[in-house]
Amino acid sequence: MGSDLDRQIQTLLQCKIITEAEVKELCLKAREILVEESNVQRVDAPVTVCGDIHGQFHDLKELFAVGGECPKTNYLFMGDFVDRGHHSVETFLLLLALKVRYPDRITLIRGNHESRQITKVYGFYDECFQKFGSANVWRYCCEIFDYLSLSAIIDDRIFCVHGGLSPSINTIDQIRTIDRMQEVPHNGAMCDLLWSDPDPDSCTGWGLSPRGAGFLFGESVAKPFLHTNGLELIARAHQLVMEGYKLMFDETVVTVWSAPNYCYRCGNVAAILQIDSNLERNYAIFKESDRNSTNSRTNPQREGPPDYFL
């Protein structure tokens, strides 16, 4: 079993897919591990915190090159592993395989894209169909999405969540009471945690989110939340950042974005947040992989013309 998993990891590291039967088994094993995790998963420093990946597999390899290989480096990924990029399948399965192999060295929390509704539109479903010939792998992965934690807390001081805060949630304990093992709801606390955005340009508390899910929250919401819960930082992802990371609200909230040259067009750099055992923080920046030039959209890598094209 262990050597199978190692072999699968080696396959995935080369950006090659494993079989559907292997995916099914991997997901079964992953479920057993994830079901035991809390809605607010406790993580020990040192750990490296990462933002959205969105199927940019070769850039994930860059991330590991900069941050160190797993399990030598401990990792926490804040969701949005899939959609938009070329390799959502390889990206998610690699991270999942690493989780099964080294469950205490890597933590995966849920992003708003880890959802059936969203992945049907933004590419993961299509990619699964293209690579496996059916929707089965997509279904297995969507079931795993339901088991992913909603958030993590590092040494009781750094709170990590994909989107942001919720008007329904004042304390970390309240998050623990959520029944998370379901499709991401359209509203409510679980939805807000995965969809909200900090809004540094409004000093007022809560605002309606133009995304149509979650809320905007200002400094007057973030600071009391930190204070009430004894936190020093909220790390989150969910929003594209040109410089890879962005600090807000007197450096109490940070957005970390880990997909360089997003959609192979946006021209941004990516970042990871390296937290050492003293909770000292360092932001490491990285650019897109050279491998991407052969994978950009101007050179479609599919065999034969895309269905819609001819």
Partner 1 sequence: MANNADTFVAPVKCIKDESKDLPFFQTSEAYARIISYIQALNTAVANRKVSDPIPVSEPVTKIIALLDTLDSWITLVPPKPDPQRFGNLAFRDYIGMFEEKSTELLEALLPQNLHVAIKEISPYLTQGLGHGTRIDYGSGHELSFVAWLSCLEMIGFLQHGDHAAVVLRVFVRYLELVRKLQRTYQLEPAGSHGVWGLDDYQFLPYLWGSSQLKDNERLRPIAVMQVPLLEQYAPDYLYFRAIQSIHE
Q: From CA 275, how far away is CA 282, in angstroms rounded?
A: 7
User: Is the Cα dihedral 105, 125, 82, 296 positive or negative?
Assistant: positive
Q: Is 303 helix (H, G, I), strand (E, B) or coil?
A: coil
Task: Of 40, 37, 35, 43, give the one whose Cα is nearest residue 174.
Answer: 40
Q: Considering the complex, what minimum distance in angstroms separates the CB of residue 191 from partner 1?
A: 12
Q: From CA 186, how far away is CA 206, in angstroms rounded?
A: 18
List 85, 111, 163, 164, residue binding partner 1 (CB under 8 A): 85
Long-range (24+ apart) CB contacts under 8 A made by 169-173 are 169/193, 170/225, 170/228, 171/228, 171/229, 172/40, 172/229
Tell me, yes or no, if 86 is annotated catalytic: no
Q: How close are the terminal C-alpha atoms of the chain, in Å?
A: 45
In the range 223-282, which residues lie near partner 1 by CB under 8 A?
239-243, 246, 255, 263-266, 268
122 binds partner 1 (CB under 8 A): yes
| Closer residue to partner 1 (CB): 263 or 284 | 263
131 binds partner 1 (CB under 8 A): no
Q: Considering the complex, what minimum distance in angstroms separates the CB of residue 270 from partner 1?
A: 13
| Closer residue to partner 1 (CB): 75 or 245 | 245
Q: Considering the complex, what minimum distance in angstroms separates the CB of residue 137 from partner 1?
A: 16
The angle that helices 2-13 and 20-34 make with each other, rounded to 10 degrees, is: 110
Q: From CA 105, how far away is CA 70, in angstroms rounded?
A: 7
Q: From CA 230, how far away is CA 71, in angstroms rounded?
A: 29
| Closer residue to partner 1 (CB): 85 or 153 | 85
Q: Considering the complex, what minimum distance in angstroms separates the CB of residue 86 from partner 1?
A: 5
Q: Considering the complex, what minimum distance in angstroms separates the CB of residue 198 from partner 1?
A: 10
Contact 215, 206 (CB under 8 A): yes
Site string for partner 1, 91-120 (x = CB under 8 A): --------------------------x---
135 binds partner 1 (CB under 8 A): no
Q: Considering the complex, what minimum distance in angstroms separates the CB of residue 241 from partner 1?
A: 5
203 binds partner 1 (CB under 8 A): no
Q: What element of type H or E holds 208?
A: strand 206-208
Stretch that binds partner 1, among 82-90, 92-100, 134-142, 164-172 (CB under 8 A): 82-90
Among the listed residues 54, 58, 87, 113, the single catalytic one is 113
Strand order in the sheet with 106-108: 106-108, 75-77, 47-50, 270-275, 281-286
Number of residues that bind partner 1 (CB under 8 A): 34
List 14, 21, 212, 278, residue binding partner 1 (CB under 8 A): 212
Chain position carrying tokens 């009391």: 224
| Closer residue to partner 1 (CB): 70 or 142 | 142
In the range 145-184, which residues lie near partner 1 by CB under 8 A?
none
List 11, 15, 53, 54, residue binding partner 1 (CB under 8 A): 54
Active site residues: 113
Name the residues that contact partner 1, by CB under 8 A.
Answer: 54-55, 83-86, 117, 121-123, 126-127, 186, 201, 210-212, 239-243, 246, 255, 263-266, 268, 297-298, 305, 309-310
